[in-house]
A and B are shown apart, each in its own frame.
Chain A
Amino acid sequence: MAGPVSVLNNLLKEKVLAVQDFTLLAWQSFRKIFARPRYLALTFEQMDVIGVGSLPVVVLASVFIGAVLVLQTADQFVRFGSPGLTGDVVALALVREIGPVIFALLVAGRVSSGIASELGSMQVTEQVDAMRALGTDPVKRLVIPRVVATVVVVPLLTIVGDLCGLLGGLLASTAVVRINPTQFWVRAYNAIEFGDAVQGLVKPVVFGLIISLVGCYYGLATRGGTRGVGRATTQAVVAASVLILVTNLFITKTVLWVNEMMGW
């Protein structure tokens, strides 16, 4: 009965269904985003929880990432006699790639899991059903405030993170490698072009969408009591992280192509 083929078949079917459900949730969120009722107070509350809550970890991580980037690269540039390039490299790496991706992964670890466990607990204690029974659309009350809050907050966190990262690089280059801080800052600032800024801001918007939607999806799909909540939480973080890394490649490719087309 349950031969390997049918097991594989069922697994495949399950995955396809999951993707279908996820797409449906995303579509419903977009469709209802401007529909009344709007839960603005809940959205601001989520911005506070997600944004302010994630700020310390992003600031701390970014300072150290900026510093370590300097340590890794400065040596080479000094040897080739152009230590000023350190500022260019740190700035470009941070703004284009490392900033958006690492901050998104950090936020995913906090926020996707937080959303999945909160909505998952509500699901297994029938609070989501109760909400619908009492005349509230869970997509409007639970999903959209979280998605909107995350999409607004992650780019802001990334900007703050990029600045702190540059600051970390500046500190490291002055203290350890002895590069002139003004020179570092000017080179870093001039290295970033319009296209880089676009890339650096498009990515966090998309990642914010992934972080929140994946968390909501796994939370609302939770079955099987408290253990189910644990499982949903872990799955949400893993799925969000993988999706961020995969999407990053495609965004990078697309943005580079657009840059070339537009001559930015």
Chain B
Amino acid sequence: MADPTPGNPTAGQAEVLRFDDVHLAFGQTVVLRDLSFALHRGETLVLLGVTGTGKTTLLKLALGLLKPDRGRITVLGTDITELEEEELFPLRAQLGIVFQEMALFDSLSVHENVAYRLIEETVHGGKDYSDEEIERRVRECLRFVGLEEAIWKLPAELSGGMQRRVGLARALITEPPILLYDSPTAGLDPVTAQTILTLIIKLRDTRQAGALYVTHRLQDAFILANNCYDSQNEALKPVGGDGRGQPCGPTRFLLLRDASIYFVGSPADLVSARDPYVQRFLA
């Protein structure tokens, strides 16, 4: 299994996630038709497409929540297509996901939500985390998303943007090398959306995780592609300005249409594409 040390500038070579001719239909409707792509460490793959093109479905396939009708899905070198649910559980610790509907457990506190995986592994798995260690790691993740003060609250007491950030913190607790974001800015006001994007870029540029970023908002995609995280000012700065020397994760765009990949390439390729559908999508 190729697993280069984090921070290695050539780390972009290692594949963390791979789809080979993945096909999935719900009844008569084909949602994904013979789809193939690969995601590399430190790379962000932005999945674009109108609502209902199967973006969420693709993420669920990557997690093994759904099984493809045919084709092969490889996570960190392991073929997950044939694995049983029990065998998938340890592998899923390598994938952090932020759901579109946030999916926080509403009967549990923020602390219990973020610590969920650690608590489960302690109480029911073989691991043995002390309460102190769990709280320390939860606080660390919450600090990363700027919500440490909300640790003892219930999700219902938080705003939508705060819930999204808790969802992000929950995905981070195991420091997964692959992150899946399902429309993380959907339904948020522009300021809050910018906060979430900044966090995601910070995560990309400080931890070198590979990411699948699902969105139907093109402006998000370009913010991701054109900015780096400036850890001195704790803000974004544009790529290519004075941002020289800052390793900034490469970004590719992948446009889904009619169950297939319609376009894949760099942001510049997308902008310069002559294709009428791409042009319409950009407009």
Residues of A within 8 A of B (CB): 36-37, 124-127, 129-137
B101 in contact with A134 (CB, 8 Å)? no
A136 in contact with B120 (CB, 8 Å)? yes
A129 in contact with B65 (CB, 8 Å)? yes
- Distance in angstroms from A175 CB to nearest chain B CB is 46
Residues of chain A with a CB closer than 8 A to B100's CB: 126
B103 touches which of A36, A126, A137 (Cβ 8 Å): A126
A134 in contact with B116 (CB, 8 Å)? yes
Task: Tell me the chain B residues, 191-248 only, with Cβ under 8 Å from chain A.
Answer: none
**If A134-B116, A134-B117, A136-B120 touch, does A129 touch B93 (CB 8 Å cutoff)?**
no
Which one, B34-42, B84-92, B139-147, B274-282, is touching chain A?
Answer: B84-92
- Distance in angstroms from A60 CB to nearest chain B CB is 29
In the complex, the 9 A-B pairs of residues with the closest C-beta atoms, listed nearest first: A37-B124, A130-B103, A126-B103, A135-B89, A126-B99, A126-B101, A125-B101, A134-B117, A127-B103
**If A36-B124, A37-B123, A37-B124 touch, does A133 touch B95 (CB 8 Å cutoff)?**
yes
**Extra inter-chain contacts (19) besides given A134-B117, A135-B117, CB under 8 Å:** A37-B123, A124-B101, A125-B102, A125-B103, A125-B106, A126-B100, A126-B103, A127-B103, A129-B99, A129-B103, A130-B105, A131-B105, A132-B63, A132-B65, A135-B90, A135-B93, A136-B116, A136-B120, A137-B89
What 1/0 flags go to B70-104 for Cβ under 8 Å of A?
00000000000000011001101101010111111
Residues of chain A with a CB closer than 8 A to B106's CB: 125, 127
Cα-based distance from A134 to B172 in the complex (angstroms): 11
- Distance in angstroms from A116 CB to nearest chain B CB is 17
Among residues of B, the one whose C-beta sits closest to the C-beta of A28 is B85
Among residues of B, the one whose C-beta sits closest to the C-beta of A139 is B85
B105 touches which of A36, A124, A127, A132 (Cβ 8 Å): A127
Cα-based distance from A133 to B96 in the complex (angstroms): 8
- Distance in angstroms from B229 CB to nearest chain A CB is 26
Residues of chain B with a CB closer than 8 A to A124's CB: 101
Residue of A125, A133, A136 most packed against chain B (CB within 10 A): A133
- Distance in angstroms from A168 CB to nearest chain B CB is 37
B60 in contact with A129 (CB, 8 Å)? yes
A135 in contact with B121 (CB, 8 Å)? yes
Cα-based distance from A134 to B89 in the complex (angstroms): 8
- Distance in angstroms from A9 CB to nearest chain B CB is 13
B190: Cβ under 8 A from any A Cβ: no
Task: Tell me the chain B residues, 128-144 only, with Cβ under 8 Å from chain A.
Answer: none
- Distance in angstroms from B103 CB to nearest chain A CB is 4
Listed A/B pairs (11) with beta-carbon separation below 8 Å: A37-B123, A125-B101, A126-B103, A127-B103, A130-B97, A132-B65, A133-B65, A133-B95, A134-B92, A135-B90, A135-B117
Among residues of B, the one whose C-beta sits closest to the C-beta of A130 is B103
B99 touches which of A37, A130, A135 (Cβ 8 Å): A130
Cα-based distance from A134 to B102 in the complex (angstroms): 13
Residues of chain A with a CB closer than 8 A to B89's CB: 135, 137
Residues of chain B with a CB closer than 8 A to A135's CB: 89-90, 92-93, 117, 120-121, 125
What 1/0 flags go to B153-170 for Cβ under 8 Å of A?
000000000000000001
Cα-based distance from A135 to B102 in the complex (angstroms): 17
**If A125-B101, A126-B101, A129-B103 touch, does A134 touch B120 (CB 8 Å cutoff)?**
yes
Residues of chain B with a CB closer than 8 A to A136's CB: 116, 120
A37 in contact with B92 (CB, 8 Å)? no
A133 in contact with B97 (CB, 8 Å)? yes
Among residues of B, the one whose C-beta sits closest to the C-beta of A140 is B124
Residues of chain B with a CB closer than 8 A to A37's CB: 120, 123-125
Residues of chain A with a CB closer than 8 A to B125's CB: 37, 135
- Distance in angstroms from B43 CB to nearest chain A CB is 21
Cα-based distance from A250 to B8 in the complex (angstroms): 69
- Distance in angstroms from A40 CB to nearest chain B CB is 10
Cα-based distance from A137 to B100 in the complex (angstroms): 21
Cα-based distance from A127 to B104 in the complex (angstroms): 6
Cα-based distance from A137 to B89 in the complex (angstroms): 9
- Distance in angstroms from B78 CB to nearest chain A CB is 16
Cα-based distance from A124 to B89 in the complex (angstroms): 22
B92 in contact with A133 (CB, 8 Å)? yes
Cα-based distance from A134 to B171 in the complex (angstroms): 9
Residue of B95, B101, B103, B120 most packed against chain A (CB within 10 A): B103
Cα-based distance from A134 to B106 in the complex (angstroms): 15
Residues of chain A with a CB closer than 8 A to B97's CB: 130, 133
Among residues of A, the one whose C-beta sits closest to the C-beta of B95 is A133
Cα-based distance from A133 to B182 in the complex (angstroms): 13
- Distance in angstroms from B186 CB to nearest chain A CB is 13
Residues of chain B with a CB closer than 8 A to A130's CB: 97, 99, 103-105
- Distance in angstroms from B232 CB to nearest chain A CB is 34
Cα-based distance from A6 to B135 in the complex (angstroms): 58
Residues of chain B with a CB closer than 8 A to A133's CB: 63, 65, 92, 95, 97
